[in-house]
Structure 1
């Protein structure tokens, strides 16, 4: 059974974007050491154009071969003409109620039973499934998430888009990894205790 992992970037105070969802400010907190870490440990989470720029276009996936994103996460790239942001992955899914057809043949839409679709994906063979974002999608899938990898950047913003809109509920986690990088970023990994 494949695992659904919420691999997400956040501020110290737990926000993944500004109140309007824009997360571009996060790029100010990326440095060479952090980029090298992503290239080495999570190359599949770098967009296809980014992989080409970084010289890792052919890097094999280590953790995920499927990406699942909400429409809000997909939209910024789409506005720039990037219809297949993770074309190097086996499968790309966008959850949307408003898109009637996928803008790219390599991207599949999930419109109906989200939990059922995710359970079907988890039952398939392969590497893990990367829940790319955002808050609404994480909230809808909170009971399907098996693990979290949280990249915390050294910035406090005060308000914005939370990591999840799941609603209150204590959900126990087990720390499975911790790494502090020189630029102040911290990467923590957790398994969901069931």
Structure 2
């Protein structure tokens, strides 16, 4: 069975973006060592435009071959003309109640019960499923997430968009990995204890 992994960037105080969702400020805290690790270990999570620039156009996926994102996560790329930001994935999903037609042939829309759709995806053969974001979608899928991989940047935001809007509820995790980088970034991975 495939796993749903919430692979997400966050500040030390747990925000994935500014109050409006913009996360560009975190890129200032991504040094060469950290980016090199992301390229080596998670090449498929780099959007198509970045893959071409980094020479990853033909890089094989290591962990994920499906991506699911909320409309707000998809929107910035769409506004920049990237209708298929992860076209190198076998499956690309956008959860939206407002889009009635997919902007690209290889993007599939989910407008109904997203948890049921994800359970169906998990039952299929393949690599893992990357939950790309955001906070509302992470809340809707809280009971379907099997693994968290959290890229923590060495910055405190004070307020902003949280990792999830699920509300209070204790969900035990088991630490499965921790890698610290010289620039202060840390990648921690956790399995969800069921």
Q: TM-score range by the shorter chain?
A: over 0.9
In the TM superposition, what is the alpha-carbon distance from 1:16 to its structure 2 partner?
0.2
Q: How does 1:44-123 map to 2 (within 5 A)?
A: 44-123=44-123
C-alpha distance in structure 2 between counterparts of 1:5 and 1:141, whole Å: 10
**1:69-93: per-residue Cα shift (whole Å, max 9, x none)?**
0000000000000000011110100
Superposed displacement of residue 24, structure 1? 1.1
Question: Which structure 2 segments of 5+ residues have no match?
Answer: none
Return the TM-score normalized by structure 1: 0.99
| Residue deviations 1:105-136 (CA, integer Å, cap 9, x gap) | 01000001111100000000000000000000
In the TM superposition, residue 31 of structure 1 has moved relative to its aligned partner by 1.4
Structure 2 counterparts to residues 18-57 of structure 1, below 5 A: 18-57=18-57
Runs of 4+ in 1 over 3 A off after TM superposition: none
Does residue 152 (structure 1) correspond to residue 116 (structure 2)? The answer is no
Query: How many Å apart are 1:29 and its aligned residue?
Result: 1.1
Q: Deviations over 1:129-171 (max 9, x none)?
A: 0000000000010000000000000000100000000110010
Displacement of 1:41: 0.3
RMSD: 0.5
Q: How does 1:175-186 map to 2 (within 5 A)?
A: 175-186=175-186
Q: CA deviation at 1:30?
A: 1.3
Secondary structure in 1 matching 2:35: helix
Report the 3-state secondary structure (helix = DSSP H, G, I; strand = E; otherwise coil) of the residue aligned with 2:40: helix
Partner Cα separation in structure 1 for residue 4 and residue 171 of structure 2: 16
**Structure 1 stretches of 5 or more lacking a match?**
none
TM-score by length of 2: 0.99
In structure 2, what is the equivalent of residue 188 of structure 1? 188
Deviation at 1:191, TM superposition (A): 0.0
Shift of 1:34: 1.2
Deviation of 1:67 after TM superposition, in Å, equals 0.2
Give the count of matched residue pairs.
194
Residue matched to 2:9: 9
Counterpart for residue 136 of structure 1:
136
